[in-house]
Amino acid sequence: MLAAFEGWNDAGEAASDALRFVGRYLGSEKISTIDADEFYDFQFTRPLIKRNAAGQRRIKWPTTKISRASIPNSNIDLILVHGVEPSYKWRAYTAELVASAKELKVDCIVLVGALLADVPHSRPIPVTVTSDDDLVRESLDVEPSTYEGPIGIVGVLAEVGLLADIPTLSLWAAVPHYVGQSPSPKAQLALLNRLEELLQVSLETQLLSEESEAWERGVDELATEDPEVAAYVRQLEEAKDTVDLPEASGESIAREFERYLKKRRREQ
């Protein structure tokens, strides 16, 4: 099960956009939804009115869509969960999702999120992978989360999944906070690259790579127009480079080259 939620857990819309990309690429089909009336405050998360393919005006209610897709050339099925973070009854909401996971024989939950952070837009977007499941940590060589503080629906679903004995893994992209209010194709691409590794699937991300480069050039131009922002970005770049310097010439390059080779082998 691959899950992402719009709202607090979705800086730059990177997580929900990444999930939509996977769904479109794999041709996912909707299998169910979660009733909106039970879990949303419609004065806070308002319904939208839109025209359908026939040109008729219809109300689109905030909801959670559950879809199914298959990874080509594998025996792996994906259950995609995409919704808006609910307003009410988080324990009942996550219990319903986990019950669906059990019914669909899900053997792992991958939670995708994006957060605002003090990172520069001009450097690779960090993606943190954590798990509180011992076997997942051992098999994927990842660490447990050390975060303490307020959480969103992603954090609640992670704990409920573990309590139901479903191994759970979390991916978080760090989005530059000074451009976090608009969509971030660069953060979306970083999440998709990590999902490619986890799912062992090749995703056609060339167009998104071009959008990511255009986004970065656009932010560069905006930053140069404001001396204070430009100075702040340089400060973030220096801090990031200092942290990354010990492994920049070795481990990180080898990891990126290994990811490239794996993708080429899957494509062939």
Residue 241 is predicted with a pLDDT of 82
Domain boundaries, the chain: 2-223, 226-265
Tens of pLDDT, residues 210-236: 999 999 999 998 888 888 888 888 888
Residue 161: CB atoms within 10 Å? 25
Residue 73 is predicted with a pLDDT of 83
Residue 132 is predicted with a pLDDT of 92
Residue 98 is predicted with a pLDDT of 96
Give just the sign of the alpha carbon dihedral 201, 141, 146, 238: negative
HEC-encoded secondary structure of 205-251:
CHHHHHHHHHHHHHHHHHHHCCHHHHHHHHHHHHHHHHHHHHHHCCH
User: Residue type for 109, please?
Assistant: I
Residue 200 is predicted with a pLDDT of 85
Residue 259 is predicted with a pLDDT of 61
Residue 239 is predicted with a pLDDT of 86
Residue 223 is predicted with a pLDDT of 83
Residue 255 is predicted with a pLDDT of 60
Regions of the chain where pLDDT drops below 70: 245-268
Residue 264 is predicted with a pLDDT of 65
Residue 250 is predicted with a pLDDT of 57
- Per the CB < 8 A criterion, the answer to whether 48 and 6 are in contact is no
Residue 248 is predicted with a pLDDT of 52
- Per the CB < 8 A criterion, the answer to whether 88 and 38 are in contact is yes
Q: What secondary structure does DSSP assign to 128-146, as a single string?
A: EEE-S-HHHHHHHT-BPP-
- Per the CB < 8 A criterion, the answer to whether 67 and 23 are in contact is yes
Residue 238 is predicted with a pLDDT of 86
Class of domain 2-223: alpha beta
Residue 173 is predicted with a pLDDT of 96
Pair of tokens at residue 28: 């996912």
Phi, psi of 82 (to 5 degrees): -130, 125
Q: What is the DSSP letter of 267?
A: H
User: Residue type for 108, please?
Assistant: C
Q: How far apart are the first and last CA of the chain?
A: 27
